Structure 1
């Protein structure tokens, strides 16, 4: 039987207040919830599911101080799990050989991709360089917020704000162009 949201929150708050037994009970109760979460997303990959459950439990333990007591615990735990799942997918990217790349590029429409790149450059040219860099790093190049922040030498919050404001400016510009 799964613990209720109220019971989970109670254990989390108890753990935050120094009750080791409450913290242990919370982590035990989260195991089936996390297994179900990852199992629905990684069908047939039971080893990966168990690894992700353990990684998420460790992250919940190490980041428990970030939990806000007035918010639902399960939603917070799912947020941590979601980031672990994204990290898993990034690690699982497959590498491919580039032998015969020229032939593939010609047959796959590389020229169209170059034109799209030019369009992106032109579009991003209409906003601040900081916002354009944040959008290019996160939305075009696929870097995480943390990776983009590290490469730019700024905080993660700064990257998030720049992306948000840049996308908002682009949307306003596009609405005005239509």
Structure 2
């Protein structure tokens, strides 16, 4: 469909934008849970950027990767305008994007990650979810969890260390 849209097929372009809109909206809703009013504004910003940058998509590469790169940049711009820095995610957020690319192995990786997270101690799991998956800052995550800022950072660090060891096969106490 995107090839037809790029070739000037107006109906294909409208259909592609319609499909993209739903995916963009879902992606942003997961990251801006408490900012629903901003989601629609960002969807429009992304769609405008997609329109203006439509010639930058490299044929043969998944359109979804290109689309979510634009979406991520717009989301980061939004956070910067609000004075909030996005959390470093060690590529955990990228799993959502990859899974959205309709790749079965990526979807399986996401399910595996969820299973691993479920096996962590509650405090570590919660810290990783708040800081890495939800993108909260350390002070925001600490308030949400009802702990100190240093405690949330320590729990996230320990949890990520444990996850990395499990993935490398170095840690067996799951």
Please report the TM-score for the alignment, with normalisation by the length of structure 1.
Answer: 0.46
Q: Larger Rg: 1 or 2?
A: 1
Please report the TM-score for the alignment, with normalisation by the length of structure 2.
Answer: 0.47
